[in-house]
Structures are given as C-alpha cells and as structure tokens.
Structure 1
C-alpha cells in the first residue's frame, strides 16, 4: 500500500494541469457558468476569468463590445486562446443600427437625427461613400482612377496651399472648414482644413502647417491632385452620405433614391473591438471584424489567424477630425524589440489607411488576401504595408491587389519575401514599387518566387539616393521572380545577387541593374545571371549598348540583343505558363551560382524562374480553401494545343482530384466514378491526352484535406483556333 501511495503521488505530479474551457454566445448570460450549455454573454467577461492555457470558444453571431487584455501573459505551450466554435461565423461588430425614421431633405436625399456621431455609414453591409468632390467610389472602381476621382489645379495659377479650378465656383457653397486631401508629390498626401474660400470663388486655401511639397512635385501645383470632403453640398450622387457633427443630422442618398426606412442602415462608432497591450502568448482564431479591428501594442507572441477584416479602418474626417487614422496595428516600442507577431490566413479589404501596421523582430505574415486598400493615402506616408521596422519578417504566400499608395510592401531588415502575388497597385500616388527595399533593408534581404504584375508601379526595387557619397545598399538576393506589365524591376546599390528572374512587358526597360555614373562603385560587384527579359539595361530608359550592365553579368537572355521576344522561349506566358519550351534557348543554358542554386534538372540550371520538366509548377499567392488560380486562367482563349493544366493547391490540402471534359454540367456534377475523373494528384500538373483546335474545355479540381473533399469550381478555357491560319 505504501508503494502504491508513492506511485499515485508521483503520477499526480507529472499530470498536466487541465485547461479550462469557456463559451460565449449572443443569447448567453454572464450569470451562467460559461459551459457550452450555459454560456456567458460577453467575451470580456470570459477573458477576465481565464488563466494561461484556457480557451474561450465564441459561438456564431455578431458581438458589439470592446475586449481589452492588459498585462495578460500566457506561455508558449499555454497561450490564452479566443476561438470561433467549430465552423460558426463570429463577427466583432463596430457599428450600431440606425432605426430612426427618415424624412426627405431634398431630391433623393433623406435625413434623420442621431443620438451619437458616426464616421462611416453602411447600407446592407456596403460602405457608402463620404460626400466628396470630385466623386469616386469602390463599386465602379472610380475611387482608384485619380484622373476621375481627383481634381488637378490649373497650371498657371496658385501656389502650395492654394489651388485654382474654375469648377470650384460652380459648387455653390462656401468650402471653408472642408477637408482637402492633397497629394503634394510621390508618397506625400495630406488631409488639411480649408481655411479660406467663399461661395463662387474659383480657388481655396488650406492649412499647410506640418505639410510640405515633396521634391518630386515642388513648384508643380498642377500635379498636386486633391479631393474635398466635409460639406453637405458635396453630396450629389447615390450611395453618398454626410453627417453634420454640430447638429447630429445624418443625410443619405441611397441607391435608386429609395427611402432608407426600407434598408439596413448602420453607422461606425468604434475603432477597435480587441485591444491587447503589454501581454504575450495570445491567440485569436476564426474571429472576424466588421467596421472595426484590433490594436496590439507592446506585446509579443500574438497570433491572429483565419480571420476576415472587412472595412476595418476609416478616417474621422466626417467629424472634422483630420488626425491619424485608427488602423489595424501590431506594434512594439522599437524595431529591435522581440514581437513574434503572426497574421495567418486572414483577409483584409476596403480600408481607409494601410492594411496593417507592424514592427518588431521575428514576425510572420502568411497566406493573407488583401484588396481595396487605402483610398486616401493619408496615414503616415505612402505604404500599403509598411514593414520598414519589422526586422526578420517572413512575408509569404500573400495576394494583394487594388491599392492606392505608392509603395505596396516596404520591407524591413532581413525580410524574406516569397511566393506572393502582387498587382494593381499605387493608383493614387506617383513613384513607388510593389516590393521596395531601401538602403538599410537590403543586406541579406530575400525576394524570391513572387509574381509582380499589372501595375503602374515598379515591380521590385532596391533604392538609394542618387547623390555622390550617399550610402547605398548591398548584398540583397532577388531570384526566381516573374514580373510583367509593370514599370520595371530595378536594382541600385552593390554586391547583390540577381538571378533566374523573368521580366517582360514593362513600361520602361524590363530588368535594370543600375550603372549610375554619379555614384562610384555602383553595382560593380553585383552578380546578374540566368535572367530572361526583353529589355535588359543599366539604365531605366536607355539601351544596354549605351548603359552596359555593371558587375558580373553572364548567362542572361536579352530579347533586344537577340532580336527575339520572350514569348518565343516560353510555353504560354500570356496564359500564365512561364516554363521554358523544350526547344528554347533557355534549357540547360544557365550556370550554377554557388550556395544559391541547389536544385535543377538536366546538365545545368535553366535560364529563368522555372525548370523544364519539373513535376510541380509553383504558383504564388494566397491559398483558398478550394483549389484556385487555374493555369490557363479562367475563360482563357487561344490556349496552346500542348497546354498543361495547373492550379494552386487548396489551403493545407495534401492531394487533389481532377475532372476534365467538354461538358460544363457534366464536369460540375462528376464524381470519382465518372469517366471524367482523371485521378488523384500529389503534384499540380495535369496533362490532357489531346486538345482540339477551337474547342472549349471544362475542368474541376477538388482539394482533399484531412480526408475531407472540398469541391472546386468549374474552370474553362478555349484552345487556339488554327483552322483558318494561312501559315
């Protein structure tokens, strides 16, 4: 018995402490015990009861509250976890319902009086446009067209802080007190109060305190585009609204001029629904945010995963407040402070302000999808994602498109930027690039396996000042990227490694390793090998003959020099197949770069980012639950007769099941017993047995994850028709 007692004591000592589980539901009560059958009502109430290792499960529904965690510290193996229960949709809500009775103001504009101020308005979960001039909104993409959604001052009149336009006199209102959002050059956009204007005047002045003309537009007032907000008279089209903070009167012109009494109208009254400060080891999983977001400060080991942030941030200009926008934040005090923030498998869309602010060391942003980011560009400069102070960040498998700021991703020290799909950026400011590494951020920075495309901005840029004796970056690594239909990919500095990239269709030269003659030693030690481009040079616009590429330069394929186009070398680049043709100049024509290239097929590496004969085709960007991003793309035409079908794996899927045929409905309904079933694939390339000229085909890829089959969408493509080709 004595030995048995000792055994029991020892056994009890090694038993792990059992974590507590709490449940929260919209129909709960804080007087309950917090079990699944008797849940709490408020997340904060559950949070106050938690210890390290505990989990609070949140049942489906919308929650309006502000949860604050201060000085809450979990452990690596015992974090505090807040998690959506199973697959239920949980949304933290930043709006309140506006159920007031509306009356007509004039025309199709209705009005009602509120009890508290709001600074963003939603109708049926769609954000209305703040009354502005000129008009611009998200729904027809006009907000991203600066020629349409911004006004441009007259060239021969005005100065910094005073703009002339004859159209101003037609507004029939005094603009004093309005807010002017002004792009004064490159990445400098300000929101400033109009200080001087009278009804009928063709000019106005605004407060320039704290603002300045960026050198790129200095003295060029006609290039300083702007728009105006903050006046009822600017409400002149449907889906616009205005709130008067002095009278608490709300005005709305709803779609088709219908009465708001028949609509679901809500107003934003909260910036942050989840605040974490001076805390560690906290996880938020599967929690969505609508018209609100989270604020993490001076904390570490915070993870936000599987979340959707819709309209997370918006300026308070409607309230006459031109201060800094409350945006999504994960910040420590200094760049070198340990952060270990993780943002994984999240979606962020429709913001005024950047997608997220993040700094500190050791962060991860992975498998996120961000779009329609920052229509005013007024938050601390021109960055969609400013990671300049995020040291040793891994930025992987993200898709980002449709942005306003000049810079899409501003990298930090020793960042690894890989497998991202970046496009359609920088609409509202000049200058900039989709991936930008400044001088201090270039050493040991890695940019690899990305697609950067279809943008007025540069694809990838290593930047520095173009003045004698100015410091410049070095030892950056850029390889296996694809850039097309961008401004260029462009590298300043020295001792970089630029290899196995593909760049074509640029507005200027495609691939530029700068031979800046002002800065001595510029790129003289840079190694540039195994790249393919149509226009390869040491200068942005001048040909290679006049500006030779400096440094060690060999085994590159240059279309201008060879008198060929990259399309003669690649399988089908217009339909996103960037692999080399079997008979191209690229196969086995590259060279091994010691300690840089560890994998290749054949006698030597191929030139370019893809190896001929590889079993997989790498496709960058966000992985959805379903298989996605088909190659050829959806509804592609003129697909080659020898096309392979390729896709991006479903998120965390291990294998995929492929269906293929010429009948859309048959492919949609096919099962694994159907003749259309092509089998299971652990790789992402399927080669049809034969394709016919001019014919349309349909295919479907189902993802298999943990024995769960996630049915894919039906994709289609049409094969090139050569029947009437005289050649």
Structure 2
C-alpha cells in the first residue's frame, strides 16, 4: 500500500510539473512587479521574467500598455505551443523609442537643439517621422522621399566608379556652396543596386566629387541617382533633423517655426524588441511594434500572426554607420541559423528603411500580409536588393498585398518556391531594371507562380531571367499560370522547359508576354491558353519579326486579332470573359496546370466564364499607423463588409444612389493614385481599377440593383470604405 501511495504521489508531482501554465505581464503603473506571482491580479512587470518562469507550452498574456523591453526567447521547445500574446484584444505596443524630454534652445533660424545622453538614429515628432537632413530635400508627408525626382542625377559618360559628375540642370550641387567632403552618399550607381558610400573629396562650388568606390561587378554606366546625408549643413528645411556624434547635440527644424519644447518627441534606440533563438513551437500574436521589430534564428515551427510592424527598421547612417539596416528576420545566413516550417501570417509591415523582411530557411509560409511604403533608400540590401528576400527551399509566398516600394525587385523567392494569389502594385520607384518576381537560375527550377494580380508598376511583373549563354543559366522547369498583368513591363521568360499558361496580359509597356529565344531559350517551353494584347519573342517588336519558340498554340494574341482588343473578349475590370467571347472553350487541357473547366474545354486566359472568381491579396484591412483603437479596424473580407469603416473621408463617391456610373474624387484635389475596389454586399470582389489625377468615373451599368461597397486605398496607405446603391 505504501509503495502504491508513493507511486501515486510521484506521478502527481510529475503531472503538476508538466502541466501548462499561464502567466500575465502588465506595466508597473498597472500593478506589474516581478515579485508578484504572475497571475491576472498580480502580474509580472517584464516579459523576460515571465519567460524565466515558463516552460514549453506555457502562455504569457500581456496586458494593455507600452513595453520597452528587449526580450530573449531562447530554448523553448515542446510538443505544445508556447504563446506570447495580448490579453483579450487589449492594445499592446512594443516601442523601440525613448521620449526626449530635454529642454530645447534656439540654434539659428527655425532650428532648435539639445544635447542627448544616448545616441538615436530615427526621430519622431508627435508620432510623425522626421527626415534625416539631406540634399536634395525630400519629405515623407508628401511622398517625395519615395521618388527619384528628389535625387540628384549623374552624367554617366563623364563618371566612373569612384568619381561622379552631377547633372546641374536637374539638381545643382555646386550652387549649394557646401563642401560635401565627408558626407554620406546613397549611391544608385548599379542600376538595380544602391550603396551607402563616403564622399572622399569635393570642392565647394563644383558639381563633381570623389566617393569610396562600389564593387566593380556592381557598377553600371547608366541611370545614376544619389542623395546625401551626414552633414549639419544639409539641415535647411522643415521636418529635418541631424545628430552630431561628437558633441551629442541633436538639431531639429520644426514646421512653422514651432518650438519643440511643446511637442512629444521620440528617438529610436532599439533594433529588436524580440529575439528568438534555439526554439520551436512558439507563437507571437496580436502585438503592435513601433520603431522596433522581431528576429529569429535556429528555430522551427514558429508562428508570427496578427501583428502590426510600423517603422520596424531604420539605417544607422545618422550615427555614421554605413552598414545595412537591421530588418525583420526569419533566420539568418548559415545552416545553423535558419528558420524552418514556420509561418508569418496576417501582419502589417509599413514605413521601413530596408527590406520588409528577410527569410532564411525551408518550408516556410508567408501568407496574408500587407506591405506598403517599404524602403525609401533601397541601399545596402541583400542579394539583388529586393523588398522581400527569401533564401531557402520550398517556401510559399501567398495572398499578400504589396504596394509603394523602392527596390527594383520585389520578391526573390528562393528555390522551388510557390508565389500565388498576391496583389502587387507601385513597386521599384528608386532603382532601375527589376521585376516584381525576379527568378534567376536555380530559383526558377520547379517554381510555381500563379493567380497573382500585378499592375501599375514600371517593372516587369514576372521574370525568369539571368545572364549567361544557355537556357540552363537562366533557369528551367518553371510554371507561370493564371496571372493577371496590366500596366507593367509584362511577363518575360528566358530558360527552357517552362509552362506559361492561362495568363491575361493587357495595356502593358511594349509586349505584355515575352517568350525570348535568345541563347536557344524556350524551344521546349509550352505557351498555351494565354490572352495578351501583344505577345512576341521580343520585348518591343511584332511577332511577325520575332516568332515565339516552343510549343505555342491556343493563345489569344492581339497582334493576330486586329482590329479587336483585349476589352472585346474580357471585362478588363473583373478579368472575366465576356458572354459569347471567342476565348470561351477555346483553350486546350494542360495536364500539368490545374484548371477547373466550365463547358467543353478550358477558356483562354486567367478566368473561366461561369467558373470560380478568384481574388488576390490580403483579405483584411490593417490598422495603419497612426493606429486607431483596434476594435474599429474594418475587415474587408466578406464577414464584415456590412459595417462602415471608421476612416476619415478623403474621397467623394457620387452619385449615390447611381444608375450606370459612379465617380470617385479626391476631396483635397491631390493627384496621388488610389486603388478602387468594388465588392458585392456579400464581400465578393467584383473588380478593381486605379484612380489617377484625383478623379475617375467607373462604368457599373452591368450590376444588378442593390447595395455594393467601394473600398478606396490611397497611395499614402489610408483606406476608405463606402456603401453605394445601384438603382
């Protein structure tokens, strides 16, 4: 009996020791203390202390508040998931800044100054990001920081690697009278590559300078752009700031000559709020990150879900540090540092200096995220310098929305990747060349690019391309199918043994579907069931001069259909074939490409008449910075379109009710672009279009009577949702 009792007690102790536990953390002002028990009524004050009490499978709930911790999650493993999350939808903010409460004194003109005790490398005034003092000037609040128009331009034939001659007719460097020696140059002298280099020699009044040369294999003799930071003399307009690393004095030029003593001012002092190492089965969810972010290495089966990252990364150029920005990272280089079998889902990434994020590892899923205003320098990025750099095998990038990016290429997908159901527009504003999807050599092999919307970008939409003298060098055995591409440089394909099928391409610059035959490319590629206003084996010229190689049949090619255009066979808003269109049942069954047939044979193009109306992009509307209470964020999925979003009206929608057409007009008469999406009352996307020049009329005469929703996503990132009624 005694033996059985001891066995029972031992089993009970073991069971209690293995039981999952729940811990709570709250700010000290809300009763948090690390001497507490970590319960909901007696919470800990720090997440790190909670982690010291936790084992794999435990949960840490964070009560609402602002947290400045640098958290280390190390060695958490187990069959159950360890969770760090906000409690009961409370607003939890990780903040990588410190408030600057110093007394400011007038320096000169409208410039104020104060002395700091610790360095900062990003500055916010009343939650608005300030501009590092620069020449030529640019602003964030008018989007000019994302335009090459605010960069100086070079005269390339008279320049070389290490020496630049500035085109004074565009921006006159000599007229500034400033000595640029010692300044920092953000040098886009590699077409699709940009470097941060030191200016070694400049004579005031001249338009040439010597700079620390860039790698010889990266320098190009075309498309030179640059701007400069790192000198107090550049501080000459509102919303600019400068930090002197020697004297520790910070200078600030406030708008309207304001005295900064009356404002809430914050400086960035942190790179990563959360670092995760040597762990598995960990979830981080429902958190907000301001001027800080997250990184993981040597982890597997981790989940980063439902988080908002605003201003997550920033270069330390203001501290005279020319290294690349420390961006959000899933893994890092080296086999022992990678992250595998993990998911990044339903997160917002906005206003970065540097990539949106980097992924190193295999079998990861990047799904249903929203990325906008990514990187205003595109300098010192990894690989080909892209918005999202993925290095590894079998990664999936799906259902993401991306717009307003600086880097020439948007997605470098890794090997054997799937890139699907993404909505991408307005990319690559700060570099030349490039593509939304940039596939090179090994990354093309077994890649699957399908069901994407890519539009309104000066770059190629999808590209299988790499320098070399053979199809193998450019990549082989890739699939590009069921994509809709308009107002881009089109789809360009090198290599061989591909399937290019069921794509819809129209209104592109030059040819919309380009199947190159150079270096013996594509003689065994299948090009079938595509709609293209212009399809050829050349970037610009007619198919009669450049016939398409490979197995080329059952396509609708505008070159052969004159005087018809794509709008005669499909609805260019919904992308669906028109009733009675010649593309219906005009395709061929392609066993290697999944396609649900309605009728006797597949339709040509990305959509099947009467079939599933698929949509692309994130299915939710983020709480863009400056954040509102999360409870009023409007979800644009079908589940919640019956509630009007709590956004400020920036656009008029009229007449309402309407008969045939509805007009969208910017109240402020701005010329910024906006994406206009029309939804049914059940949340099904009917179509989308682009508003330019502040006003657009949309023909909706084919709609039945009833209530619809128009969602307007402005270039600056705001959203407006309005009900409209068809009479």
- The TM-score with structure 2 as length reference comes to 0.84
CA distance in 1, matches of 2:267, 2:705: 47
**1:412-431 matched pairs, under 5 angstroms:** 412-431=414-433
Secondary structure in structure 1 of the residue aligned to 2:559: helix
What is the CA-CA distance between 1:171 and the residue it aligns to? Answer: 2.0
What is the CA-CA distance between 1:188 and the residue it aligns to? Answer: 1.9
Query: 1:49/1:234 Cα in 2 relative to 1: closer, same or farther (>3 Å)?
Result: same
What is the CA-CA distance between 1:559 and the residue it aligns to? Answer: 1.1
Which position in structure 2 is the counterpart of 1:713? 721
Aligned residue pairs total 660
Given candidates 34, 37, 47, the residue that maps to 1:33 is 37
Query: 1:701/1:131 Cα in 2 relative to 1: closer, same or farther (>3 Å)?
Result: closer
What is the CA-CA distance between 1:75 and the residue it aligns to? Answer: 2.0
CA distance in 2, matches of 1:692, 1:509: 31
In the alignment, is the contact (CA less than 8 A) between 1:67 and 1:274 conserved in 2? Answer: yes
Which position in structure 2 is the counterpart of 1:74? 77
**1:232-311 matched pairs, under 5 angstroms:** 232-311=232-311
Query: 1:469/1:84 Cα in 2 relative to 1: closer, same or farther (>3 Å)?
Result: closer
Which position in structure 2 is the counterpart of 1:22? 23
Which position in structure 2 is the counterpart of 1:618? 614
Which position in structure 1 is the counterpart of 2:577? 580
CA distance in 2, matches of 1:6, 1:582: 80
What is the CA-CA distance between 1:523 and the residue it aligns to? Answer: 0.6
Q: Deviations over 1:391-434 (max 9, x none)?
A: 11111110011111111001111111111001111111111100
CA distance in 1, matches of 2:134, 2:91: 35
What is the CA-CA distance between 1:613 and the residue it aligns to? Answer: 1.3
What is the CA-CA distance between 1:386 and the residue it aligns to? Answer: 4.3
What is the CA-CA distance between 1:185 and the residue it aligns to? Answer: 2.0
Which position in structure 2 is the counterpart of 1:608? 605
In the alignment, is the contact (CA less than 8 A) between 1:355 and 1:384 conserved in 2? Answer: no
Given candidates 390, 406, 409, the residue that maps to 2:408 is 406
Query: 1:43/1:459 Cα in 2 relative to 1: closer, same or farther (>3 Å)?
Result: same
In the alignment, is the contact (CA less than 8 A) between 2:471 and 2:522 conserved in 1? Answer: no
In the alignment, is the contact (CA less than 8 A) between 1:332 and 1:339 conserved in 2? Answer: no
1:183 and 2:192 aligned: no
Which position in structure 1 is the counterpart of 2:560? 561
What is the CA-CA distance between 1:369 and the residue it aligns to? Answer: 0.3
**1:337-356 matched pairs, under 5 angstroms:** 339-356=340-357
CA distance in 2, matches of 1:626, 1:186: 33
In the alignment, is the contact (CA less than 8 A) between 1:539 and 1:547 conserved in 2? Answer: yes
Secondary structure in structure 2 of the residue aligned to 1:188: coil
CA distance in 1, matches of 2:291, 2:640: 37
Bigger drift between 384-393 and 649-658 goes to 649-658
Q: Deviations over 1:251-296 (max 9, x none)?
A: 1112222111111110001111111122222211112211111121
Which position in structure 2 is the counterpart of 1:315? 315
In the alignment, is the contact (CA less than 8 A) between 1:180 and 1:226 conserved in 2? Answer: yes
Bigger drift between 321-330 and 381-390 goes to 381-390
Which position in structure 2 is the counterpart of 1:138? 140
Which position in structure 1 is the counterpart of 2:673? none
**1:66-105 matched pairs, under 5 angstroms:** 66-70=70-74, 72-76=75-79, 78-105=80-107
**1:544-555 matched pairs, under 5 angstroms:** 544-555=543-554
CA distance in 2, matches of 1:434, 1:42: 42
Secondary structure in structure 2 of the residue aligned to 1:193: strand
What is the CA-CA distance between 1:459 and the residue it aligns to? Answer: 0.4
CA distance in 1, matches of 2:244, 2:502: 57
Secondary structure in structure 2 of the residue aligned to 1:713: strand
**1:488-527 matched pairs, under 5 angstroms:** 488-516=490-518, 519-520=519-520, 522-527=521-526
In the alignment, is the contact (CA less than 8 A) between 2:657 and 2:725 conserved in 1? Answer: no
Q: Deviations over 1:286-325 (max 9, x none)?
A: 1221111112122222221111111111111111111222
Given candidates 120, 123, 139, the residue that maps to 2:122 is 120
- The TM-score with structure 1 as length reference comes to 0.84
Secondary structure in structure 2 of the residue aligned to 1:47: helix
Query: 1:276/1:15 Cα in 2 relative to 1: closer, same or farther (>3 Å)?
Result: closer
In the alignment, is the contact (CA less than 8 A) between 2:638 and 2:682 conserved in 1? Answer: no
What is the CA-CA distance between 1:335 and the residue it aligns to? Answer: 6.5
In the alignment, is the contact (CA less than 8 A) between 2:526 and 2:552 conserved in 1? Answer: yes
Which position in structure 2 is the counterpart of 1:446? 448
